[in-house]
């Protein structure tokens, strides 16, 4: 008991030793705390990125589906009679339109979606977004590429299955419209990225490592003031 009393008496007489011990203990606690906080921050930022990436891809899917509807509706209205020498020409035309619609959706919502998704995730256009001429040329190039790809795929996949519709492929949706829609897709992706970066910045400011360090620094400063 006397030894314990002497030890505490020694500590009270040497506040710097208390500060050193307390600082060492806090350092261990803080290290564990920062590791835990870093993991939380990583997960939170990952969730924010996933959220805005999902918004861009949802807009992409919605836009492609809209193009499918526009293209099919125009085709359906422009091709109203069958040239087939068959008493069931009208039925045959209906079947052709069903085939056309099925292939159209497969090309847009499957193949083109994957291509455009890669374009959205690539970094090249981010560097030229503020250069109007280069950015416009990029959008025109990619939009025209997608349009040409769709046209080639339609011809290849429809083959001889839609003889009344085949001559009109490419007439119901233009390259200019493809570029305009692609521009909307990329601009939407950029808007989502800007909103994402802003949200991440705000999160780091409120919950990041530097915010925690500032709090800890104030605590240590207060402890020093009390002990010394």
Cα-to-chain-centroid distance, residue 141: 22
pTM, entire model: 0.73
The Cα 222–Cα 228 span in angstroms is 10
Q: Is 65 helix (H, G, I), strand (E, B) or coil?
A: helix
**pLDDT above 60: residue 91:** no
pLDDT in tens, 119-133: 888 766 888 888 999
Comparing 153 with 37, which gets the higher pLDDT?
Answer: 153
Number of domains in the chain: 1
The Cα 228–Cα 22 span in angstroms is 13
192: in domain? yes
Comparing 49 with 210, which gets the higher pLDDT?
Answer: 49
146: in domain? yes
61: in domain? yes
**DSSP structural state of residue 111:** I
The answer to whether 103 touches 157, Cβ cutoff 8 Å, is: yes
132: in domain? yes
Q: Which two tokens stand for residue 147?
A: 């349009």
pLDDT in tens, 9-57: 544 555 555 555 556 556 665 665 555 566 767 778 888 889 999 999 9
38: in domain? no
Range of the domain at 118: 57-207
51: in domain? no
**pLDDT above 70: residue 63:** yes
Given this model, what pLDDT does residue 126 score?
A: 82
């Amino acid at each position: 008991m006397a030894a314990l009393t002497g030890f505490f008496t020694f500590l009270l007489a040497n506040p710097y030793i208390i500060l050193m011990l307390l600082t060492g203990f806090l350092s261990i606690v803080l290290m564990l705390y920062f590791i835990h906080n870093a993991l939380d921050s990583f997960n939170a930022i990952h969730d924010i990125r996933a959220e805005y990436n999902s918004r861009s891809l949802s807009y992409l899917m919605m836009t492609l589906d809209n193009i499918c509807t526009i293209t099919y509706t125009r085709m359906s209205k422009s091709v109203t009679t069958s040239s087939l020498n068959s008493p069931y020409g009208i039925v045959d035309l209906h079947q052709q339109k069903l085939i056309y619609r099925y292939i159209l959706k497969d090309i847009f919502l499957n193949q083109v979606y994957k291509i455009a998704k890669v374009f959205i995730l690539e970094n090249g256009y981010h560097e030229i977004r503020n250069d109007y001429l280069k950015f416009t040329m990029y959008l025109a190039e990619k939009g025209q590429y997608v349009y040409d790809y769709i046209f080639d795929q339609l011809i290849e996949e429809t083959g001889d299955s839609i003889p009344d519709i085949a001559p009109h492929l490419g007439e119901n949706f233009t390259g200019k419209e493809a570029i305009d829609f692609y521009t909307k897709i990329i601009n939407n992706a950029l808007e989502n990225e800007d909103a994402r970066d802003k949200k991440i910045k705000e999160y780091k400011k409120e919950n990041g490592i530097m915010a925690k360090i500032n709090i800890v620094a104030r605590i240590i400063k207060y402890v020093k003031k009390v002990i010394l």
